[in-house]
Amino acid sequence: MKTEVKPINNSRLFYTLFSGFIFAVFVCSFVKISFDIAIFILLLATAIFVYGKFKAEAKVAVVLISVFVFSFALGVLRYDFKEIRPKVDNLASKVGQKVELTGIIIDEPNIKEKNAQLTVEVEGQKVLVSTGLLPVFKYGDEIKAKGKLEVPENYNSTTSPAFDYVGFLAKDDIYYQLNFASAWIVSSGHGSFLKTKLFAFKNTFMGKINTLIREPESSLLGGLLLGAKNSLGKDLQEKFRRAGVSHIVALSGYNITIVVEGIMLALSFLPRSVSLSCGALGIFLFAIMTGGSATVLRASIMALLVLLAKATGRTYDVIRALFLAGLFMIAQNPKILVFDVSFQLSFLSTMALIFVSPLIESKFQFITEKYKLRELVLSTIATQIFVLPFIFYKMGMISIVSLPTNILILPIIPTIMLFGFVTGMMALISVTLALPFAFITSLLLSYELKVIDFFASLPFAALSVEKFPLSIVVIIYIIFAIVITRSQIVSRRQSSLD
């Protein structure tokens, strides 16, 4: 009697493909797997698939195994291709020597309190140049820099996991650095026209805000809108860590999502399709304003998926779209999976909004829906619950006051970001027109800082954790996955009964 073979569910096929590829990239981030081994794994996947043709009763299982092995091999190959360095590397022989390099600044300068970090392309290689704040360097400048050429090195922390600085730079193909360099501008205007205009607009925008809003409120607004957390200063950043709110100034899907939420709230009197369209437009404008970097584009995709979920109400389709977006992002640059905290925060916060919010919604029916208060509280708590284990692991500090601090400040952030954006845009037209918006923005920012300062100053505010174990983080997220999966199964059963 011939065994009836059931067709393979498309979802199972997709998630098997996703799992194999992501698992391979994760493994390769820590262990080197050669190109030859990857080819062998591809051949193994083919052999397993062919074997399944002669074992009809096990066809589904065998096909899924072969797809997993095949996608694992593809992940290994993609990571190997990312690791390929230029054949001609004239800088390698100069490591450890005093050099004078000439190159073009190919990304927006990262301005810190006491120095500027420049990504400079020199002879086809990227070099991270750390120099003084003057002269004022811009994207597209041709510069000369003198200093000792070095390769990046990792450094350890007693209260957090060892920061893989080498991997962090390597994800952007940076393998050399010039610290404490003296640098000067040779000429300007060598960057792309579009990026030059985008960065110029952002700098003008923030310049107008800085003239209307005092410090440290203006720096906080810059962090909220643009992720410019370096301008906050070490003392304020430490308060953010103790209060458990460092994530609000990291460019992630959550930041962009709350910008969109603010726009949709302001336009809630319009038809839903119009407010959603305005939300999508807001994401596009935000990405432009922040320079359109890869980090922002990844976060923007995450935020668009949340909008899609709200527009269609089809959570299961959006779940697949979320993982598909993640797959494409990692395929484009496999090193972001392990070495890009912004991507990780974007993915986790978006998952929280899609998975966790519906899970806990019934517990907050007592909160009014007016002004979308319930939705804001839900988003805040869901994101905190889901992201906190990851933050504990990365920062090595557990904030005891994180939840109350976030509940008090996060619902206000959409309004701050909206008014802050309007302040900057109005100031481009007329400083006088922007004054009322700047006043409101400043008051709200002052409230945020006072709340953060109060909770951060409490003696029990934070508990330093000596290298918070990754194993505990993994176990927590496995528990999350089990709870969410069971909830999804129950929800589907109820839907089918209805």
Q: Tell me: the pLDDT tens digits for 91-101?
A: 888 889 999 99
Burial of 369 (0-12, 13-18, 19+ CB in 10 A): exposed
Element (H or E) spanning 414, and its range?
helix 413-429
What is the three-class DSSP state of 102? strand
| Residue 398 DSSP label | E
Of 96 and 470, the structure prediction assigns the larger pLDDT to 96
Please tell me the distance from the alpha carbon of residue 42 to that of residue 37, in angstroms, as a whole number.
9
Query: For strand 462-464 and strand 125-131, is the pairing parallel, antiparallel, or unpaired?
Result: unpaired
Enumerate residues 6+ apart whose C-beta is below 8 A from 468: 160, 161, 392, 393, 396, 398
CATH entry 2.60.40.180 includes domain 92-191: no
Does the pLDDT at position 85 exceed 50? yes
Of 22 and 284, the structure prediction assigns the larger pLDDT to 22
Neighbour count for residue 247 (Cβ, 10 Å): 25
Comparing 145-154, 158-167, 421-430, 487-496, which segment has the lowest mean pLDDT? 158-167
Query: Measured between alpha carbons, how far is residue 389 from residues 396, 398, 404 in Å?
Result: 10, 9, 16
Helices vs. strands in the chain: H and E counts, helices first: 19, 8
Q: Give strand pairing partners of 183.
A: 145
Please tell me the distance from the alpha carbon of residue 371 to that of residue 422, in angstroms, as a whole number.
20
For a pLDDT cut of 90, what percent of the chain falls above it? Answer: 18
Enumerate residues 6+ apart whose C-beta is below 8 A from 459: none
Comparing 80-94, 281-295, 353-367, which segment has the lowest mean pLDDT? 281-295
Per residue in 276-329, pLDDT tens? 777 777 777 666 666 555 556 666 776 676 666 666 665 556 677 778 878 888
Per residue in 44-66, pLDDT tens? 877 777 766 666 555 677 778 88
As a whole number, the mean pLDDT across the chain is 80
Query: For strand 116-122 and strand 125-131, is the pairing parallel, antiparallel, or unpaired?
Result: antiparallel
- Give the model's pLDDT for residue 2: 47
Does the pLDDT at position 405 exceed 90? no
Q: Which segments of 327-439 are extended strands (E)?
A: 397-399
Comparing 71-75, 121-125, 366-370, which segment has the lowest mean pLDDT? 366-370
Element (H or E) spanning 304, and its range?
helix 294-312
- Give the model's pLDDT for residue 1: 42
Per residue in 199-234, pLDDT tens? 888 888 888 998 999 988 888 888 787 766 556 677
The answer to whether the CB of 40 falls within 8 A of the CB of 57 is no
